[in-house]
Structure 1
Amino acid sequence: MYENRSAGRVRDKAPYFFLSYAPAPDPGDAADGARPAADKNVKEFHTDLTRAVAGLSGSLTPSALGYLDAADRGGPAMARALQSSHCFVPLITRRYFTDVYCGRQWTAFVNRARRGTLVPALWTPVPTTARPLPVDLDLPVPGRPVTPMPVHDKALDRYAKGGLYGLRQYPEHPEYYDQCVRRLAQCIVQAARRAPRPVPDDAEFADLDVPDAFATSSWHPLGIAVLAPDVDHLPPDRGDTKYGNEPRDWQPFSDGLSSPLAQRTAELARNLGFAPEIRTYDEAEAVFLGQREATSPWVLIIDPWILHDRTVADRLRAFDARDLPWVTVLTPMADDPQTRQSRDRLDALLRSTLPRRLSTGRAIQRGAVAGIDNSEAFNSRFLELADGAAQQYLNRVPLPSSTTSPSASTDSQGDQEAQP
C-alpha cells in the first residue's frame, strides 16, 4: 500500500484539496472496462472551486491547487494527490456511497499518518439512511478566528434541499451558487494554512489496497415505541375493536390490512434502510427519560385514548419536558365513530400532556403530534419524520468532517489570508 519517498517536494506542490467524485457510467460507451469521464457540471464546479481557492490563497498556480479524481481512478497520480492533499472534498451524492473507489479513498485519507481535513460538499440530496457513516451535509463553516464568508439564508436553504447541483440549475440567483463555492474555498484555504508540513520520512500511497469505508457499514437502527392500551386495560367505555393482547397489537385504521400499525411501520422503516426494533413505551421509557443511553433514533406512536390514565399522562409529561430532537412523535387518530365523537376531548388531553411537542418544531412535526387521521397520511409523515430523527441522532455523534484542526488553534496568520 505504501512506498517511502522523499517528501521535500510535497510541501511545495501539495494540492490544497482532493475532489473525490463518483462518476456516472456512460451508457453509450461500448468499451469494456472503460473509465467514465467526469460529468461536465462537476468539471465546471472543480474549476470554480479552484479559482475561488486561488483567489483566497493568493496562489499564482491555480491549476495545481485542486485535484479532480475521475480519469486516473486508482492510478499513481491519484495516489500521490490523495497522500499529499491538505483537504479531502467528497462530492456527496447517493452514488458516492456505493462507489468502491470513493470508499477506499475515504479510508486512505482518514487513516494516513499526516492529518488532513474533510470538507464534504453536497452535490445532490442524500437521505440520512443512504449515508453509511455520519457525514455533516450542512455547508461547512471555517473555524475561529475567521469570519465566515456571507451566504444568504435562502442559499443555505437551497443548498440543503438541492445541493450545489441544484444551485447551478437556479438561474434567478446565480450568486447563491457563488456564495456557497466561496465558503467551501474559505474552509479549504484555512485547513491548508493550518496543515502540518510533511516530514522527510512520510510515506506515499502506492495503491489503494485498503478497505472500502462504506462496504462494512450496517443499516441504521431505529426504535419504534408504542404507547397504547391492550384489551385488558382500556379506558372506561372504550370499544375494543382496535386493540389486541398487548400495545403492539393496536391497529387504529380500517384500511383492509390486518397487521398491527407497529408492524407496518417497521416495514416502512426497512424500506428506508433502517433496522427497526419494536418496543412498548414501558420498555423504551428509560431511554426517553435519560436513564439509559440512546443507541438509535426513535419514533414514538401514541394512542391518545391512553391519556385518560392520569399516571400514564404524568409519565408522558416528563418525556415531553425533555429536549429530544432524535425522538419523533406520531399520534394516529383511530377512524372509528367513538374516536370521531370524542375528538375534542382527546385533543384537550394531548394539549395538556404534550404542550412542548405541540408548540415547538416544524409544522409537520406539530401536526403529527396533534393527530393523523388515516394510514396514507401516517405513512407520509413517518417517511419524512423518521429520516429527520435519524439526522438529529447522528448530529449528536462527533463527526470527522470538521473544518477546524485542534492542533492549530493558535495559527491565525494563514487564517487571515482566507478572509474575504
Structure 2
Amino acid sequence: MDASHFDTGVRDESPYFFLSYAPALPPGDHLDAGRPAADKNVAEFYIDLTREVVRMGGSLATTSVGYLDAADRGGRSTTRALHRSRSFVPLISRRYFADPYCGRQWYAFTHRRHRGVLVPALWVPVPTTARPVVVDLDLPVPGGPATPLHVGAETLELYAKHGLYGLRQDPDHREAYAQCVRRIAQCVVHSSNTAPEPAADRTEFVDLDGVPDAFAASSWHPLGIAVLAPDIHHLPTDRRDTKYGAEPRDWQPFSDGFGTPLAERTAELARNLGFAPEISTYDEAEPVFLGQRETRSPWVLILDPWILHDRTALDRLRAFDARDLPWVTVLTPLADDPQTRHARGDLEARLRSALPRRLSSSRAIQRGAMLGLDTSEKFNSRFIELADSAAQQYLNRVPLRSSTRPSASVERPTPASGGPVAPASDQDDSQGDQEAQP
C-alpha cells in the first residue's frame, strides 16, 4: 500500500482508532495557508498500524479501521471521528503539546460521555516538564485480562530513547519498530473489543474551535520549593549576617549583583521550565516531608549547611533523611563569602552527618548537589536536572489517567493536568531531519 495514495480520512464514522499528531508545515508555509497533507513518516506509520490492527482484528475492513487527522483538522469529519472512535492514539512529541488543535482533540476525546481508551505513542522523546498533562510514555500495554505481546527489554529501551520516529529511521532497528507497532495495535484492538460503541446520534460538540486546549499554559506543573536556612535573628555563633534577612526565604548565598533572594530566583527559573512553583520555609513543608500531609507536587529542598550548627535543625533533617522521598531533591548552595570557603570541610562533615541515607544511595550528580554548589551557575544547572528528576519520581507514584492500563478507560474525567525538562535524557526533536517531524 503506497502512502502517497493512501486515503487518510476514513469514510466510516466509527473508527477503531483516531491517530492524532502535530503536522510539520513545509518551509515558508503558515497555518492559514491551508491544511498540510499528512507527513510522510506519519502516514507510513498510520499504514503500518492499520495493517497490524486489521491482522489482529481478523474481519476488520482496512478502510474502516482508523482515522488520520490531516487535511480536515477542525472540520466535520474530524469531530465525527472524535465522537465515534474507540481509542485515541496521540503521537507524542514536543511539537504535539504546542499545537492547540492537538490539545483540543485530546480534551474532546477525554471529556466524552462514553468511554474511550488513550493509547499514547512516543514519536520523539519529550522532557518531562514539556508534557502539560500526565502521560505515561512507556510502550503501552492492553488492559486486563489481555496478555501483552512480548517486547524485548532492548526494544523497550530503544523505544524510550529514540521514539517511533527514531526507530523508523534506523535500518538496524526495523524489528524493534515492528514490535512496538504490534504492541500499539494490540492496545487498539483490545480497546475496540472492550469499549462500548458510541451512539451514532449523540453529538457533544460541533467543531473544535469551541473546545478548550488541554495543553493550555494554565495547566503548568506544580513544584514545591522549600528553604531550610537561618534568618538574621537565628544565626550560628560568629556567623556573619550579610547573606541573610528577616526570614529564611530572604537568604542570598551568591553575590552576583542581582540582589534577589535565591528562593525567588529559583522560582523564576522553575517557571521558565514549565513549573508553577510555590516557595515555602522548611517549617511549612515539614508535614509533607514527614508524611503528615499528602504531597501534591514534587519538591526541591534548598539547604544552607550553616543551619546544621543548630542541633534541633540537624535532628529534623536526619528525620527527613530517614524517609524514602524520591520526589524531593536536595540542593546545597555554598555561600561565596570567605567565611564559608574556610569552613567548607566542617560544613561538608555536618551534611554527611545529617543526610547519611541519601548520600549513600543517590547518584553522583545528586550527591554533588547535596554536598555543595559554590556558584550560581552550578546551582542553576543542577536545579534544572534534579527538579525534573523529582518530577519524574513524583509521576511514578501517582495514577496516570492517560495510561492504557485498565484505569485508562475514561468517562468524563476531570480536566487533565499535572505531569511535568530532563535535559540529560532529552533527545532534541528540532535538529536535522527531525525538524520536519511532529
TM over 0.5: yes
Determine the structure 2 residue equivalent to 1:242.
Answer: 243
Q: Deviations over 1:144-202 (max 9, x none)?
A: 33333333434433433443223334444333323322222222222222122455765
**More displaced, 24-33 or 241-250?**
24-33
Determine the structure 1 residue equivalent to 2:380.
Answer: 379
- The reply to whether residue 146 of structure 1 matches residue 151 of structure 2 is no
Contact map agreement 2:133 2:219 (CA 8 A) in 1: no
Q: Helix, strand or coil for the counterpart of 2:33?
A: coil
Give the alignment's TM-score, normalised by structure 1.
0.84
Contact map agreement 2:401 2:408 (CA 8 A) in 1: no
- Give the superposition deviation at 1:313: 1.3
User: Structure 1 residues 179 and 340 mapped into 2: Cα distance closer, same or farther (>3 Å)?
Assistant: farther
- Give the superposition deviation at 1:243: 2.8
User: Structure 1 residues 364 and 65 mapped into 2: Cα distance closer, same or farther (>3 Å)?
Assistant: farther
Determine the structure 2 residue equivalent to 1:20.
Answer: 20
Determine the structure 2 residue equivalent to 1:334.
Answer: 335
- The reply to whether residue 259 of structure 1 matches residue 260 of structure 2 is yes
Q: Helix, strand or coil for the counterpart of 2:387?
A: helix
Q: Deviations over 1:260-290 (max 9, x none)?
A: 2222212211211223222211122122222
Q: Deviations over 1:325-378 (max 9, x none)?
A: 222211122334443443333233222221232233444333322322322121
Q: Helix, strand or coil for the counterpart of 2:108?
A: helix
Contact map agreement 1:230 1:247 (CA 8 A) in 2: yes
Q: Deviations over 1:107-142 (max 9, x none)?
A: 222222321101111222333333333222222222
Contact map agreement 2:118 2:408 (CA 8 A) in 1: no
Q: Helix, strand or coil for the counterpart of 2:125?
A: coil
Q: In 1, Cα distance between the equivalents of 2:330 and 2:389?
A: 12
User: Structure 1 residues 361 and 71 mapped into 2: Cα distance closer, same or farther (>3 Å)?
Assistant: farther
Q: Deviations over 1:360-398 (max 9, x none)?
A: 344433332232232212111111222232333344443
Contact map agreement 2:103 2:212 (CA 8 A) in 1: yes
Q: Deviations over 1:212-235 (max 9, x none)?
A: 333373432322111112233222
Contact map agreement 1:191 1:404 (CA 8 A) in 2: no
Q: In 2, Cα distance between the equivalents of 1:364 and 1:155?
A: 27
Q: In 1, Cα distance between the equivalents of 2:204 and 2:247?
A: 60
Identity, in percent, stands at 72
Counterpart residue type for residue 248 of structure 2: P
Q: In 2, Cα distance between the equivalents of 1:114 and 1:30?
A: 36
User: Structure 1 residues 276 and 402 mapped into 2: Cα distance closer, same or farther (>3 Å)?
Assistant: closer
Determine the structure 2 residue equivalent to 1:315.
Answer: 316
* Structure 2: runs of 5 or more not aligned: 1-9, 410-438
Q: Helix, strand or coil for the counterpart of 2:218?
A: coil
Contact map agreement 2:224 2:277 (CA 8 A) in 1: yes
User: Structure 1 residues 83 and 310 mapped into 2: Cα distance closer, same or farther (>3 Å)?
Assistant: same
Counterpart residue type for residue 19 of structure 1: L
- The reply to whether residue 355 of structure 1 matches residue 356 of structure 2 is yes
Q: Helix, strand or coil for the counterpart of 1:173?
A: helix
Q: Helix, strand or coil for the counterpart of 2:400?
A: coil
- The reply to whether residue 41 of structure 1 matches residue 38 of structure 2 is no
Q: Helix, strand or coil for the counterpart of 1:350?
A: helix
Q: In 2, Cα distance between the equivalents of 1:407 and 1:128?
A: 20
Q: In 2, Cα distance between the equivalents of 1:402 and 1:87?
A: 12
- Give the superposition deviation at 1:318: 1.6
- Give the superposition deviation at 1:19: 0.4
Contact map agreement 2:18 2:66 (CA 8 A) in 1: yes
User: Structure 1 residues 13 and 249 mapped into 2: Cα distance closer, same or farther (>3 Å)?
Assistant: closer
| Structural mapping, 1:262-301, within 5 Å | 262-301=263-302
Determine the structure 2 residue equivalent to 1:211.
Answer: 212
- Give the superposition deviation at 1:61: 3.0
Counterpart residue type for residue 320 of structure 1: D
Q: In 2, Cα distance between the equivalents of 1:154 and 1:252?
A: 45
Determine the structure 2 residue equivalent to 1:92.
Answer: 92
| Structural mapping, 1:404-419, within 5 Å | 404-405=405-406
**More displaced, 220-229 or 93-102?**
93-102
Q: In 2, Cα distance between the equivalents of 1:30 and 1:380?
A: 36
Determine the structure 2 residue equivalent to 1:65.
Answer: 65
Counterpart residue type for residue 122 of structure 2: L
Q: In 1, Cα distance between the equivalents of 2:407 and 2:270?
A: 38
User: Structure 1 residues 186 and 370 mapped into 2: Cα distance closer, same or farther (>3 Å)?
Assistant: farther
Determine the structure 1 residue equivalent to 2:116.
Answer: 116
Q: Helix, strand or coil for the counterpart of 1:301?
A: strand
Q: Deviations over 1:298-328 (max 9, x none)?
A: 2110112211222111111221222222222
Counterpart residue type for residue 375 of structure 1: S
Q: In 2, Cα distance between the equivalents of 1:180 and 1:354?
A: 42
User: Structure 1 residues 398 and 31 mapped into 2: Cα distance closer, same or farther (>3 Å)?
Assistant: closer
Segments ≥4 residues shifted beyond 6 Å: none
| Structural mapping, 1:195-210, within 5 Å | 195-198=195-198, 202-203=202-203, 206-208=206-208, 209-210=210-211
- Give the superposition deviation at 1:64: 3.0
- The reply to whether residue 367 of structure 1 matches residue 368 of structure 2 is yes
User: Structure 1 residues 288 and 32 mapped into 2: Cα distance closer, same or farther (>3 Å)?
Assistant: closer
Q: In 2, Cα distance between the equivalents of 1:48 and 1:338?
A: 65
User: Structure 1 residues 180 and 244 mapped into 2: Cα distance closer, same or farther (>3 Å)?
Assistant: same
Q: In 2, Cα distance between the equivalents of 1:83 and 1:178?
A: 29
Contact map agreement 2:226 2:279 (CA 8 A) in 1: yes
